[in-house]
Structure 1
Amino acid sequence: MSVSHAEDIPPSRIKDISEFNNLRVHHLRDLESNREKNNETGGPTDGGRDAWLTIAGCFMVQFCTVGYSNAFGVYQDIYTRDFLSNKSPSEISWIGSFQYFMQYAPGVFVGHAFDAGYFRHMIALGSLLQVFSIFMLSLARKGQYYQVFLAQAVGIGLGQALLFIPSLTIISQHFKKRRSFAIGVAVTGASVGGIIWPILLNQLDQKATLANANRATGAVTGALLLCANILMKPRPVASRAGGGVHVGIKTVFRDAPFMVSIGAACLVALGIFFPYFYLQLYAIDQAIAPHLAFYALTILNAGSIVGRLVPNFFADRLGPYNMIIPCLSVTAALLVVVLAVHSFAGLVVFALFYGLTSGSYISLIPSIIGQLSIKSGQPGLRMGFAFTSVGFWMLIGTPIEGALLHPSGTGGSLVWSPCIIFSAISVACGAFGMLVSRMMFVRGGRNGEKGQLI
């Protein structure tokens, strides 16, 4: 076989090869340029300075929104025993549940505004509204239920609505493969807030006044939200044809696994927040020393730090469904176990484990929604629809438990068994609903993408 040498190749052929190589080099350069452009304006980068600074800002938002709401058990105790002692536990719990409701209810519109590019506007307005409402709460007078309700339930809740959902949805712009873990890191801010806010409120209420405790809360919240506004950075994304809220909602209703998962989340919302509202009051009613009972919510939220990180870390490897179903099952079992808690040691053990399992559920839900929203083109709208739906059930959950806790004809004494059993059954039904949603998701062939776990 003869070997061709360079001098044997015709000049015209050499010119063609040279032009081909030049075209190939230019093509590779164009590909690299497009890849860099996509990293700037397109898909998630799963890391980088802007991504982790955004997570830091989301952490602060979660600290000031869900973390602050998780401390409502302190308000429930103070209002029941002193500040609003003219009202029943059920009436007082409406303040906290309506605050949660307002935080979640406008989700459809907040999510659509996020998809339309109004992230910065919502975060700024929500920050101002929450801080203003906290200072208004500090001016509420003792025994004036309507003043507390307007400031805390309506004002703070609406401010948190403009902060909470956008701060979760923006994470999907920066993370994909490590989305569950990134969300877990961000929502640990809620757990840290749930540790710090109860200590701050209890200590200042004892050493100063509830009004001054609220003023200190407003100052800390204002500083942190200012930092969060600076740190969070939305990524420019390509415009998506969604047809607006009306068309988007139609596609949501046709998605059976998504709707079943939302139904399951609504059932869970009926019962899962019972300890966050009533654990401190329960501890005091069980004759646990008040100076120890005051740390019930702090311990609960300390456990949820692990719950928001570890399950989310494994969810990126095992799938969010495969983590959330067992976590919900254990949460339901723990709600029954609380009936056996009559000492501070038992309270600590229960609070740590319940914080772990319930915290994992709260942090895994955005990952489930994100997975069910793949290729929908409207992640903000779907996240908002989910939280709007859950918000209505959160509105009635803790008041129902309050009514069961203080039934008529008991002479003012607290009856714990009915409300605890109600909460446990609600969460157990939610766990079963998530299992059904997972089965529908698999049967629909939607887990067929390479590397996608459920």
Structure 2
Amino acid sequence: MSYPSSSDEIAKQAPESVSKSVESVGNTSLVDPSDALSFPEGGFTAWGTVLGALLIQFCGFGYVSAYGVFQGKHIYFYTQTYLTNSTPSAIAWIGSVNAFLILSVGIVSGRMVDRGAFYPVMKIGCLLQCFFLFMLSLAKPEQYYQASLIFLSQGIGLGFAMGLTNVPSIAVISHHFQRRKAFAMGIVAAGGSLGAIFHPVMLNNLINGRLGFANGVRASAALSGGLLFIANLLMRTRLPPQQKIVSYTRVLKNSSRDGAYICTCVGMAAFEFGYFFESFYLQLDSTLHGLSQGFSFYSNCLSPRQLTILSSGSFIGRLTGGVVAAYVGIPNTIIVSSLISSAVLFAMVGLHSATSVAVIAVSYGVFSGGVVAMMGPLISHLTPEFSHTGARMGIAFATSSAPICGAVLTSHYIWWKAAILAGASEPYQAALSVFG
């Protein structure tokens, strides 16, 4: 995959569409083309936007990682108390739909950011996220209509709301950084891993403590609301929106002719197969392989030790991914991280002890985190026009939102088949990066 050899070349090769957009702004005294095209690469506004975007990811993907609190085997909230008439498979659809919408709604929200609607999209998304969390707290146990209420609020409502904020919070970083974009986006991506560590622990203690389900969810909603409010105060756009509206059909047509971009989308989708498998099934795999009673308990409780280790490793990987990419380049970072992640997934076939689980969790967390952190910068670098950045990110993330390894695992838990499929899929990310 070809990239400019230096940050100076990137700055010089500014997209023509941005120049036209800046020149066509009504009040030219307020917008200087040279100022708009010279990225600040820092400053209070730029790093404030990074912090705000991190908080969006913390309250978005970080909260999704806490779904095991509601579905967990030992906690019985949904399976044994709130949704007694629903099967575990039906309950799992709540979290699956939520995760799918977070990624797929980016097709819409990303395009709206390109058209200058960043602030309305973020405000609506954050307000809806708080609203649906409070709606979830109204659910009562052992009532027929509660299944619909929980699915609508937590599955569809929260998924849609978080989807409105996910891609825009990543795309807005492109307004402030060019040379240090990979590092800045890595910090933003690390917010999701940080939330994946914090939210399950918090909800476990709130719901199992004196507050109970309703007040525990309300407390988490209040915390998320406060953080989202701060995020909206911090995040700022800088580049003007496109003045000449380009139809989404034309964006799709142009993207479909970009071989490097298509390869990247396919590679991201292949990588996500393995990523979802490790995240969803590591704790179940360790339990069924006869680990000690103490470790097995943590496999099924609300704050599973393995997933905490995995999220901690991912946090480190996402932070360091941007630093490494500054020296070796984004493609090389993705290639090495993908290949090592693949090897770790193959190693799940031989999982047999608590030590092996811990090693697999932290190793996969670090190297897969490096790949995840580089997805945003990769799409941004492959976008010739800044005015299409949000749309292209939305399309790329939407194509990687459908995990299938669970179907290969089957109800008989044939681990080697699923592990081999997951491990074999991830090298495609590295191979397609080279091809692109």
Superposition TM-score tier, normalisation by shorter sequence = 0.7 to 0.9
1:385 pairs, out of 388, 395, 418, with 395
The residue number in structure 1 matching 2:418 is: 419
8 Å Cα contact 1:99-1:154 kept in structure 2: yes
Measure the CA separation in 2 of the matches of 1:234 and 1:79.
45
Aligned with 1:47: secondary structure? coil
Measure the CA separation in 2 of the matches of 1:402 and 1:75.
20
2:206 pairs, out of 187, 204, 207, with 204
> How has the CA–CA distance of structure 1 residues 102 and 150 changed in structure 2, closer, same or farther, with 3 Å as cutoff?
same
8 Å Cα contact 2:57-2:192 kept in structure 1: yes
The residue number in structure 2 matching 1:51 is: 46
The residue number in structure 1 matching 2:32 is: 37
Alignment of 1:15-164 (within 5 A): 37-38=32-33, 41-78=36-73, 83-84=78-79, 90-142=89-141, 144-164=146-166
8 Å Cα contact 2:105-2:398 kept in structure 1: yes
The residue number in structure 1 matching 2:375 is: 365
Measure the CA separation in 1 of the matches of 2:344 and 2:135.
37
Measure the CA separation in 2 of the matches of 1:76 and 1:257.
40
> Could you tell me how far 1:338 is from its partner in structure 2?
2.6
> Could you tell me how far 1:38 is from its partner in structure 2?
4.3
TM-score (norm 2): 0.82
Measure the CA separation in 2 of the matches of 1:142 and 1:432.
50
Q: Deviations over 1:129-157 (max 9, x none)?
A: 11111222223344754333222221111
Q: Deviations over 1:95-121 (max 9, x none)?
A: 222112111112222112101111110
Q: State yes or no: 1:353 paired with 2:363.
A: yes
> Could you tell me how far 1:316 is from its partner in structure 2?
2.4
Measure the CA separation in 2 of the matches of 1:79 and 1:118.
44
8 Å Cα contact 2:115-2:241 kept in structure 1: no
Counterpart amino acid of residue 234 in structure 2: L
1:189 pairs, out of 181, 188, 191, with 191
Counterpart amino acid of residue 133 in structure 1: F
After superposing the two structures, state which structure 1 stretch, 265-274 or 139-148, moved more. Answer: 139-148
> Could you tell me how far 1:200 is from its partner in structure 2?
1.3
> Could you tell me how far 1:319 is from its partner in structure 2?
1.5
> Could you tell me how far 1:302 is from its partner in structure 2?
0.8
The residue number in structure 2 matching 1:259 is: 262
User: Number of paired residues?
Assistant: 394
> How has the CA–CA distance of structure 1 residues 76 and 273 changed in structure 2, closer, same or farther, with 3 Å as cutoff?
farther
Measure the CA separation in 1 of the matches of 2:334 and 2:218.
38
Counterpart amino acid of residue 58 in structure 2: F
Measure the CA separation in 1 of the matches of 2:347 and 2:188.
30
The residue number in structure 1 matching 2:314 is: 304
Measure the CA separation in 1 of the matches of 2:335 and 2:86.
38
Q: Give structure 1 stretches of 5+ with no counterpart.
A: 1-32, 438-454
Aligned with 1:84: secondary structure? helix
Measure the CA separation in 2 of the matches of 1:106 and 1:201.
26
Measure the CA separation in 1 of the matches of 2:77 and 2:376.
38
The residue number in structure 2 matching 1:340 is: 350
**RMSD (Å), alpha carbons:** 2.7
Counterpart amino acid of residue 214 in structure 1: V
Aligned with 2:400: secondary structure? helix
> Could you tell me how far 1:270 is from its partner in structure 2?
2.2
Aligned with 1:139: secondary structure? coil
> How has the CA–CA distance of structure 1 residues 281 and 223 changed in structure 2, closer, same or farther, with 3 Å as cutoff?
farther
Q: Deviations over 1:368-425 (max 9, x none)?
A: 101110346411111122122223xx2xx1xx44444452xx5xxx553333333223
The residue number in structure 2 matching 1:23 is: none
> Could you tell me how far 1:41 is from its partner in structure 2?
4.1
8 Å Cα contact 1:198-1:297 kept in structure 2: no
Measure the CA separation in 1 of the matches of 2:314 and 2:208.
26
Q: Deviations over 1:152-180 (max 9, x none)?
A: 22111111111111100000000000000
Question: What percent of counterpart residues are identical?
Answer: 33
8 Å Cα contact 2:115-2:245 kept in structure 1: no
Alignment of 1:291-330 (within 5 A): 292-293=298-299, 294-330=304-340
8 Å Cα contact 2:193-2:315 kept in structure 1: yes
